[in-house]
């Protein structure tokens, strides 16, 4: 970007996105009812599910990572960190902040087995 480009651009404004949230220089789809139904279905059909709430980053909104007892997992966007913990509480699923505790080893083991063709 040239020196004068900044001056020319200073007065311009952008219209806000209607169906996506702006995160840094990337637009991400907001969570919707389909995401909630998917999370509810995962909890209802798996055993030993734990929730890991992942914070907003430069490229994605807040997500809820659900991991079953065997390491099978799913991840979906959610409206907020509070919403994710409330969802977990309503479904009697323990929830943790992924930024603090990380993700469980059983999830990485599941991914390794799946990649090797063992699933």
Confidence of residue 117 (pLDDT cuts 50, 70, 90): confident
pTM, to two decimals: 0.74
Confidence of residue 24 (pLDDT cuts 50, 70, 90): low
Give the model confidence (pLDDT) of 36-60 as tens digits. Answer: 999 999 999 999 999 999 999 998 8
Q: What is the mean pLDDT of residues 97-117?
A: 94
Q: Is the dihedral of CA 14, 18, 19, 22 positive or negative?
A: positive
Give the C-alpha separation, 119 to 33, whole Å.
29
Q: Provide CB contacts within 8 A for 95, sequence distance 6+.
A: 50, 51, 52, 53, 84, 85, 88, 89
């Amino acid at each position: 970007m040239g020196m004068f480009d900044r001056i020319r651009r200073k007065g311009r404004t952008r219209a806000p996105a209607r169906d996506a949230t702006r995160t840094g220089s990337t637009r991400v789809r907001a969570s919707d009812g389909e995401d909630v139904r998917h999370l509810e279905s995962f909890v209802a059909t798996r055993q030993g599910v734990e929730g890991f709430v992942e914070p907003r980053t430069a490229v994605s909104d807040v997500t809820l990572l659900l991991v079953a007892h065997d390491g099978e997992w799913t991840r979906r966007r959610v409206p907020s960190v509070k919403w994710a913990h409330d969802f977990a509480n309503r479904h009697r699923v323990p929830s943790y902040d992924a930024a603090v505790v990380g993700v469980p080893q059983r999830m990485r083991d599941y991914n390794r087995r799946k990649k090797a063709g063992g699933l």
